[in-house]
Chains A and B, each alone.
Chain A
Amino acid sequence: MLRFRNTFTDGVGFDTVLVMLALGYLVVFSAYPLVYNIIMSFQEVDLFSLASFDRPFVGLDNYRDVLGRPEAWTIFLNTVKFVGISVAAQLTIGFGLAMFFQLDFPGNSWLRGLFLAGWIMPALVVGAVWSWILAGDFGVLNHALLSLGLTSERIFWLSDPDMALYSVIIANIWLGVPFNMILLSVGLAGIPEDIYEAAEMDGATRVQRFFTITLPMMRAQLGAVISLGTIFTLQQFDLFAALTQGGPSNASNVFQYWSWQLSFQYYEIGVGSVISVLMILFVILVAAIYVRSTRAEHVA
């Protein structure tokens, strides 16, 4: 009995408990829903069969169904544009700001703190703010553009099919820039000043120093920011809910929002699961790249 108690206070038993706690959490809240989701994507699920496991398996029917829908291709392209443009712009602007804040000037850290505002606010709130900015009739952006004479008529940012997706992208870029900036700032701060000085003595111009020192030494951070940015952008749901609801007529719809619409608005749960399974596969791929890039960091 004593020995049994000892193992929990002071031995292998204690370690096992700790591991089981973490593992249990993962199994219940991550693995189980994941597997459940995958199973549902192969089943015919409706509101009545939602509660029981005993549902007819339909093989790849759900996959054929969803990928064969006419809007699937539009939404796929939208998703690619949304992720591609968001991540590229967030990275560029975030990197630029990170380099800017490396400079020593008064008010530096104070100003950098302000940039974190977007990161602190819930995305749904950010969406509400942007919906006011982008509103067609009374929006701030239209007012500014008209006053400056840059446009002659109002642009309906959120209801014009050519504009809606880009409006969400703009809001999402704003939301993601602080994260990029902070992560890249940390990376930049980790490059010793004397390496730049050595390069300067070796004859490198400012541009050459950027391409031969800064960029290669930031490889790990850039890899991390790109892959995490991709994952976060694929998770971006609130902005669509607040700004366009995927509309008009799917012009700004993306996979993550469509999946939710199918499952919880149209109750085509099996089909909705298919999309999340496809997205999971893609995210696993990105995560693998992320893990690789952080591993390279440990070696270096």
Chain B
Amino acid sequence: MTRQIELSNVQKYYGAYHALRSISLDIDEGEFVALVGPSGCGKSTLLRTIAGLEGISSGDLHIAGERVNDRAPRERDLAMVFQSYALYPHMTVRRNLTYSLRLQRRSRAEQAKAVEEIARITGLEGLLDRYPRELSGGQRQRVAMGRAIIREPKAFLFDEPLSNLDAALRVHMRSEVRQLHNRLGATSVYVTHDQIEAMTMADKVVVMRTGVIEQVGAPLDLYDRPANRFVAGFIGSPAMNFVPGIVQDGGTVALDLPGRPVLRFNGHRPAGEPVTVGLRPEHLELGDGPLTLPVGFVERTGSTSYVLTATDPELMISTPARFPDGRAEVTLSIDPANVHLFSDDTGAALLH
């Protein structure tokens, strides 16, 4: 596979503010990459840097093998879908779609053919002569995508394209965007703050925080083997529980919870090391086990029960079982393979 987008040691400053710190990232042709992180982490800045809407302070950016640091956005042959859609309000859907073709002075016949094709792919037939203000949110979203696709660019850049849609439509469009990506065999870079979107859509997820890439990997790798405490807490919903603990002999750790319960883990750490123990809510199993904790609060959604323990820190347990009313205590077990340990100093994962 060839590299479509390559960032090497990219730095970005806004005055004294260091927005992107030594970003190095390779994106292969045909890959769907999600940039994810909390707001202000630099993911949108990174995307706009690739687009050329923001300059780079130092480092190199290559697209399809060519260094494009100093090229204007229109010379980079990338298409972008904006969060606000940024449709041209004074143009009909048809003219929105053909805007780039008209700038390239393509023939009318060519334009008409392209519009027909795009309308079919995006399901915009019958809406071509409407203005953006006459469309629903989902339809506008499709126009924005169509406008990007029609150019057959080197790569697609998505800047939180689904966050203005209601929840049901968002889930639907998620799969639609991904199917479109597969059909076109395109390279896509997708910015989102929603880790579910990143996990479900991407081949490769890039987790960012304060201008730094924390971890790059396949979605399930990030879930199974988070590189540090931040990634562990960010990926997965509900979020991972963190409990202070001290490593004991023989691959066990004592938790700082009532009764100082001891859990086994896979791997070796020196005894006496203070660590943070990470336990995913869905990995804590009800039934016989080393943890017996007081129940604080129970939420039930029908498919899942969320149990919060009355401890400090409190633990969240997620279970498909119907959790009965009035239980004062819950007894839990966990597979040693699902116990994560993080360094108290650096937050780095200690077991893998």
Of A192, A201, A204, which contacts B78 at CB under 8 A?
A201
A202 touches B82 (CB 8 A): no
CB 8 Å contact bits of A82-93 with B (1 = contact, 0 = none): 000000000000
Cβ-defined partner of A201 (8 Å) among B79, B87, B90: B79
* Across-interface contacts of B79 in A (CB, < 8 A): 201-202
Among A192, A199, A205, A213, contact of B84 (Cβ-Cβ < 8 Å): A192
Query: CB-CB < 8 A to A195: which residues of B?
Result: 86-89
Q: B99-107, B303-311, B312-320: which lies at the A interface? A: B99-107
Q: Say whether, besides A192-B84, A194-B84, A202 and B103 are in contact (CB < 8 Å).
A: yes
Give the residues in chain A near B180, CB-CB below 8 Å: none
Known: A208-B103, A212-B99. A201 touches B88 (CB 8 A): no
A47 interface residue per 8 A CB criterion: no
Taking a contact as CB atoms under 8 Å apart, the answer to whether A217 and B90 are in contact is yes
Q: Does B74 contact A (CB under 8 A)?
A: yes
B73 CB–A CB distance under 8 Å: yes
Residues of A within 8 A of B99 (CB): 199, 202, 204, 212
Closest to B83 in A: A194
B92 to chain A, nearest CB (A): 12
Contact (Cβ within 8 A) A204 B74? yes
A203 to B90, CA, bound (A): 18
The answer, yes or no, to whether B178 is at the interface (CB within 8 Å) is no
Least distance between A199 CB and chain B CB atoms (Å): 7
Cα separation A197 to B80 with both chains bound (whole Å)? 9
Cβ-based interface call for A1 (8 A): no
Is B51 within 8 A of A201, CB to CB?
yes
The one of A200, A205, A208, A213 that contacts B88, using a Cβ cutoff of 8 Å: A213
Complex Cα gap A23–B156 (Å):
60
A189 CB, nearest partner CB in chain B, Å: 15
B53 within 8 A of A: yes
Set of chain B residues within 8 Å of A192, measured between Cβ atoms = 84, 86
- Tell me if B72 is interfacial: C-beta within 8 Å of chain A: yes
Which chain B residue shows the least CB distance to A193? Answer: B86
The CA-CA distance from A197 to B99 in the complex, in Å, is 13
- Please tell me if A300 contacts chain B, counting CB pairs below 8 Å: yes
A198 sits at the interface (CB 8 A): yes
Asked if B151 lies at the interface with its beta carbon under 8 angstroms from chain A, I say yes
In the complex, chain B residues whose CB is within 8 Å of the CB of A204: 74, 99, 103
Question: A residues 198-253 with Cβ under 8 Å of B?
Answer: 198-205, 208, 212-213, 216-217, 219
| Interface assignment of B147: CB less than 8 Å from any CB of chain A | yes
Given contacts A192-B84, A212-B99, A300-B133, contact A202 B90 (CB under 8 A): no
A195 to B51, CA, bound (A): 15
Question: B73 near A201 (CB under 8 angstroms)?
Answer: yes
Number of residues on chain A facing chain B (CB within 8 A): 19
Rounded to whole Å, the gap between the CB of B190 and the closest CB of chain A is 16
Instruction: Please provide the chain B residues from 51 to 107 with a CB less than 8 Å away from any CB of chain A in the complex.
Output: 51, 53, 72-74, 78-80, 82, 84, 86-90, 99-100, 103-104
Q: A201-B79, A203-B104, A217-B90 are in contact. List 8 more A-B contacts (CB 8 A).
A: A195-B88, A195-B89, A198-B87, A200-B74, A203-B74, A208-B103, A212-B99, A213-B88
Q: CA separation between A264 and B73, bound complex, in Å?
A: 64
CA distance A202 to B97 in the complex (A): 10
Q: Contacts of B84 on A, CB cut-off 8 Å?
A: 192, 194
- Bound-state CA distance A208–B82 (Å) is 20
> How near does chain B come to A132, taking the closest CB pair, in angstroms?
46
| Alpha-carbon separation in the docked complex, A212 to B101 (Å) | 13
B68 to chain A, nearest CB (A): 13
The residue of chain B having its C-beta at the shortest distance from the C-beta of A299 within the complex is B133
Distance from B207 Cβ to chain A, minimum over Cβ atoms (Å): 26
Chain B minimum-CB-distance residue to A300: B89
Determine the distance from Cα of A219 to Cα of B89 in the docked complex, in whole angstroms.
Answer: 12
Assembled-state Cα–Cα distance A199/B87 (Å): 9
Chain A interface residues toward B at CB < 8 A: 192, 194-195, 197-205, 208, 212-213, 216-217, 219, 300
A219 to B88, CA, bound (A): 14
Q: How far is the CA of A195 from the CA of B99 in the complex (A)?
A: 12
Bitwise interface map of B from 94 to 124 toward A, beta carbon under 8 Å scored 1, else 0: 0000011001100000000000000000000
| Contact call B86/A205, Cβ cutoff below 8 A | no
Nearest Cβ on chain B to A293's Cβ, whole angstroms = 14
Query: Which residues of A are found within 8 Å of B133, using beta-carbon distances?
Result: 300
Docked pose: A244 CA to B104 CA in angstroms = 54
Q: Which residue of A lies closest to B150 (CB)?
A: A202
A194 — which chain B residues lie within 8 A by C-beta? 82, 84, 86
Known contacts A203-B100, A204-B74; is-contact A198 B151 (Cβ 8 Å): no
Chain A contacts of B88 at CB under 8 A?
Answer: 195, 198-199, 213
Nearest CB on A from B237, distance (A): 30
Q: Is the CB of A198 within 8 A of B103?
A: no
Central interface residue in A198, A204, A212, A300, by most chain B CB within 10 Å: A198
Given contacts A208-B103, A212-B99, A300-B133, contact A201 B89 (CB under 8 A): no
Cα A229 to Cα B84 in complex, Å, equals 35
In the complex, the answer to whether A205 meets B82 with C-beta atoms within 8 Å is no
Name the residue among B87, B99, B104 with the largest chain A CB count within 10 angstroms: B99
Question: A219: which B residues are within 8 A, CB to CB?
Answer: 90
From A194, which residue of chain B is reached at the shortest CB distance? B86
A201, A203, A204, A219, most chain B CB atoms within 10 A = A201
The answer to whether A201 touches B80, judged by C-beta atoms less than 8 angstroms apart, is yes
Q: Which residue of B lies closest to A206 (CB)?
A: B72
Give the CA-CA distance A264 to B259 in the complex, in Å: 105
Interface positions of B from 119 to 176, Cβ below 8 Å from A: 133, 147, 151
- Inter-chain contacts of A217 with B (CB < 8 A): 89-90
Which residues on A sit within 8 Å (CB–CB) of B73?
197, 200-201
Q: Are A198 and B74 in contact (CB under 8 A)?
A: no
Instruction: Write the chain A residue with the least CB distance to B48.
Output: A197
**How many angstroms from the CA of A216 to the CA of B133 in the assembled complex?**
16
Residues of A within 8 A of B87 (CB): 195, 198
